[in-house]
Amino acid sequence: MPDVAVVGAGPNGLAAAAVMARAGLSVEVFEASPSIGGGTRTTELMQPGHFHDVCSAVHPMALASPFFRAFELARRVQLVSPDISYASPLDGGRAAIAYRSLDRTAFELGRDGAAYRKLFAPLVRHIDGVMDFTQNQLFRIPRSTLAAGIFGLRTVEQGTPVWNARFREDLAPALLSGVTSHAISHQPSLAASGAGLMLGALGHAQGWPIPIGGSIAISTALAEDIRAHGGVIHTDAPINRLEELPPVRATLLNVSPRGLGAMAGDSLPARYRSSLESFRYGNGSCKVDFILSGPVPWAAPGLADAGTVHLGGTREELAHAENEVHAGRHPDRPYVLVAQPSRFDPGRAPAGRHTLWTYCHVPAGSTRDMTEAITAQLERFAPGFRDLIVQSNVVTAAGLAEYNRNYIGGDFSVGTMDLRGLVQRPVVSTVPWRTPLPGVYLCSSATPPGPGVTGMPGLHAATYALKDIFRLPVPPLGATATGGS
């Protein structure tokens, strides 16, 4: 019998399994789908030779997550970081552009450049402290109280109605709102502000990497390491009840709180079960992938070199779109995230073709096809876009929920992103990864630090399982480290 069972072969489950296998324990991973990857799958979605990332495409945390840094992901996966991390186009052929160079970004923002630099420079300078503060549980003293304080003050500023106080024009605010809107939340809000400032600082500190070969390269690297250390991965192996697992000393679950409740049944204490049942899921997304006969014809110069583009217009327009979703409505002009991986990874499409990755936010459980709304936003900022469409594929929020049982209502963040949602993930606890069931830990993004391809929920859960059950430290995780006990 194995020492450890892991349910769910998304990046968090695989991260947990890699840590446990590196510690010298026998590990078996159980994945319900035919393939590993979860939110990092890449597939020929529409036509042969055209590769699309099914969920995530761009990975700001690939170089910054404490887990991926320890795992030395950059030595295992080829990552390309575009010179432009992200951008926000405005009408009239203008665009606010976030280069990896903070100085160049500030220079091109005109009158607001100095204010933008003053906002981000301390975060970039103390990026390691910011990452330590944001990637661990809330109830701990940060290693750098200075970094935490700088980050906290800026989060309050950009997460409240005074968010425009330091700016005079529209480019810098639009650039900020484009990145803060990654969090599916009303605007302005502290949760969205914190997420956006962290991601924005990473854009200037290191860039936003794109994996060559698709996002699946990240999960493949994790799986290879697990197998190299004796672990076994089962696909097409759904686990609906804990009793279906082999007898093990530790069980790590990359599942939603609802999934944990269903798997554990009446074995959970009533109070904990009540907390799981009160856990709030957020709004969803509608994802549309395109095959194009050429690159996106952006009206604003320079956008062709952007790894990620945030569509929506001014800060006020972006906030209105996100607040419409928060109110349960579909915006006419949604906030749209756009990436064109084939621009930086030619192997994603045949010569002369491009793959385009997009999604917009919608109310939870939405069945509405947002292809036309997304296309209209692209045509707004890239006239002639419609003429390049060869084929498109849509997955509604309801479809995302069917694709991945963790995405309740199409919520791939696995939990509402607001202050309560940051504290209750999924319960208020100093060790939220530990469940009341002996040897059972939760390692999904419903636990801190929350959404994103970070591997951190898996690392945190594995750390406590090693300590509580096996009395073992976290082993070395690097590409050249052997691990083992």
Question: 299 with 261, same domain?
Answer: no
Q: For residue 270, is it within any domain?
A: yes
Claim to verify: residue 248 and residue 315 sit in the same structural domain: no
What does residue 399 show for φ and ψ, rounded to 5 degrees?
-70, -35
Whether the per-residue pLDDT at 485 is higher than 50: the answer is no
CA angle 370, 373, 377 (to 5 degrees): 135
The parent domain of residue 115 ranges over 66-210+283-402
Write the pLDDT tens digit of every residue in 252-271. 999 999 999 999 999 999 99
Looking at the structure, tell me whether residues 76 and 28 fall in a common domain: no
Average pLDDT for 221-243 = 97
Whether the per-residue pLDDT at 319 is higher than 50: the answer is yes
- What mean pLDDT is reported for the chain? 94
* Residues 195 and 122 placed together within one structural domain of the fold: yes
Would the pLDDT of 141 be above 80? no
Q: Which residue has the tokens 């979860």?
A: 38
Q: pTM for this one?
A: 0.93
Residues 234 and 88 occupy one common structural domain: no
**SS3 state at 321:** helix
Residue 355 counted as domain residue: yes
Domain-located, residue 229: yes
pLDDT of residue 446: 94
In the chain, the percentage of residues whose pLDDT exceeds 70 is 98
* Structural domain contains residue 54: no
User: Do 229 and 342 fall into the same domain?
Assistant: no
Same domain for 366 and 238:
no
Once rounded to an integer, what is the mean pLDDT over residues 322-337? 97
Considering the domain architecture, whether residues 237 and 195 belong to the same structural domain is answered as no
Examine residue 347 and state whether it is found in any structural domain, yes or no: yes
Residue 484: per-residue pLDDT? 45
Asked if the structure places residue 343 within a domain, the reply is yes
Burial 340-358 (b: 16+ CB within 10 A, else e): bbbbbbeebbeeebbbbbb
Domains: count for the chain:
2
Domain match, 179 and 301 both: yes
167 in the same domain as 204 = yes
Instruction: Give the Cα separation of 221 and 227 in Å (integer).
Output: 10
Half-sphere exposure of 345 (CA within 13 A, CB side): 27
Instruction: Read off the CATH number of the domain in which 249 is found.
Output: 3.50.50.60
Asked if the model's pLDDT at residue 51 lies above 50, the reply is yes
In a domain, 269, yes or no: yes
Q: How confident is the model at residue 482 (pLDDT cuts 50, 70, 90)?
A: low
In a domain, residue 220? The reply is yes
Query: In 3-state terms, what secondary structure has residue 253?
Result: strand
Q: Please confirm whether the linkage preceding 449 is cis (ω < 30° from 0).
A: yes
Residue 288 sits in the same domain as residue 386: yes
Q: Are 255 and 444 in contact (CB under 8 A)?
A: yes
Summarize the confidence of residues 141-145 as an average pLDDT. Answer: 83
Query: What confidence tier does 91 reach under pLDDT thresholds 50, 70, 90?
Result: very high
Q: Which of 402, 425, 458 is the last residue of a domain?
A: 402
Assess whether 104 and 203 both reside in one domain. Answer: yes
In 370-451, which residue ranges form alpha helices assigned H by DSSP?
Answer: 371-381, 397-403, 419-423
Task: Give residue 415's pLDDT.
Answer: 87
Residue 110 pLDDT level (bands cut at 50, 70, 90):
very high
Q: What is the pLDDT of residue 138?
A: 67
Residue range 403-425: mean pLDDT, rounded: 86
Q: How far apart are CA 286 and CA 368, in angstroms?
A: 8
Last residue of a domain, one of 377, 402, 427: 402
Q: Which of 344, 369, 402 is a domain's end point?
A: 402
- Give yes or no for a contact between 360 and 334, defined as CB atoms under 8 angstroms apart: yes
**How far is the C-alpha of 484 from the C-alpha of 40, rounded, in Å?**
27
